[in-house]
Every structure is written in structure tokens, then in C-alpha cells.
């Protein structure tokens, strides 16, 4: 289902998405990437529970509740960025020297799995940038 936004709503949505982006950037500077779906779930659930406390206390439309909702949205985006990118393991499909030799003792690319000449498509988004 597609929701049509009015011009004023679109501006508010864009401003809100920029806030989510700033929150995401702050979280990424302060904390390591989510290591597993279980960790991601826990982080998202914690933010949800903090928002839920506002809802139960009838302060669900307050500035504090809004801040929690922004944090919740940022953590949902972080889940996607940290955990839902395709990751390719080493093997014959990879043309890098380390993969061909299966020797990762001296050579490691930013993706942590391949040699330095691995194509960027084999690396997580953060490493490829």
C-alpha cells in the first residue's frame, strides 16, 4: 500500500528522516556494528520498550517519546545496514590471491575475509566505501 504525502507532510518526513540519519551516525560512532540478529533484536526491543513506557504513561506524543521513536527508527535502519547486506565467504568464485591460496595469515582486506585485491562486491558495505 502506497501512502501519498502532502507537500507539508513530505517536508516533515524528510526532516524526520534526516534526524534518523543523524541518530544512526551517532550510534555508529559510539558503538560497534551489530554482531548478530539476536543483538540487533535486543537493541531494537530496548528502544521499543522505552517508547512503550511513554505510551503507557500517556506521554506517547511528547518530545521524549519522539526522541525514542527516532532512536527506534535509527536502530531498525542499523539492523538492515549491519546485518542484512549480502556477505560472500571465500572460495573458488573469488579471484583474489589469498582466496586462491587459501592463506589469510598475512593478507586481510577490509572485509576481513579476503585478500586486498578482492572486488568490492565481496566486502560488506562499510568496508567497500
The verdict on 57 and 103 lying in the same domain is no
Is 66 among the domain residues?
yes
Assigned domain for 1 exists: no
Q: Could you tell me if residue 90 is inside a domain?
A: no
13 shares a domain with 68 = yes
2 found inside a domain: no
Q: Are 28 and 53 in the same domain?
A: yes
Residues 58 and 18 in one domain: yes
Q: Look at the chain and report how many structural domains it folds into.
A: 2
pTM over 0.95: no
Q: What is the pLDDT of residues 80-114, one digit of tens each?
A: 988 887 554 444 455 555 555 554 444 444 445 55
Task: Provide the domain limits for residue 124.
Answer: 97-128
How far is the CA of 125 from the CAs of 51, 78, 85, 98, in angstroms? Answer: 30, 12, 7, 20
Q: Examine residue 89 and state whether it is found in any structural domain, yes or no.
A: no
Residues 62 and 103 placed together within one structural domain of the fold: no
Helix%, strand%, coil% for the chain, nearest 5 = 60, 0, 40
Average pLDDT, the chain: 76
Q: What is d(CA 99, CA 91) in angstroms, rounded to the nearest whole number?
A: 6
One domain for residues 78 and 102: no
**Alpha-carbon gap, residue 46 to 18, rounded angstroms:** 22
- Residues 16, 51, single domain; the answer is yes
The full 3-state SS of 35-86, as one line of letters, equals: CCHHHHHHHHHHHHHHHHHHHHCCCCCCHHHHHHHHHHHHHHHHHHHHHCCC
Amino acid at each position: 500500500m502506497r501512502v501519498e504525502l502532502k507537500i507539508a507532510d513530505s517536508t516533515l518526513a524528510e526532516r524526520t528522516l534526516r534526524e534518523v540519519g543523524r541518530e544512526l551516525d551517532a550510534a555508529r560512532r559510539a558503538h560497534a556494528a551489530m554482531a548478530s540478529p539476536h543483538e540487533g533484536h535486543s537493541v531494537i526491543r530496548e528502544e521499543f520498550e522505552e517508547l512503550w513506557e511513554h505510551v503507557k504513561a500517556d506521554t506517547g506524543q511528547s518530545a521524549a517519546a519522539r526522541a525514542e521513536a527516532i532512536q527506534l527508527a535509527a536502530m531498525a535502519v542499523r539492523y538492515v545496514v549491519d546485518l542484512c547486506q549480502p556477505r560472500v565467504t571465500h572460495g573458488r568464485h573469488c579471484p583474489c590471491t589469498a582466496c586462491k591460496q587459501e592463506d589469510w595469515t598475512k593478507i586481510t582486506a577490509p572485509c576481513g575475509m579476503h585478500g586486498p585485491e578482492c572486488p568490492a562486491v565481496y566486502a560488506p558495505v562499510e568496508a567497500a566505501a
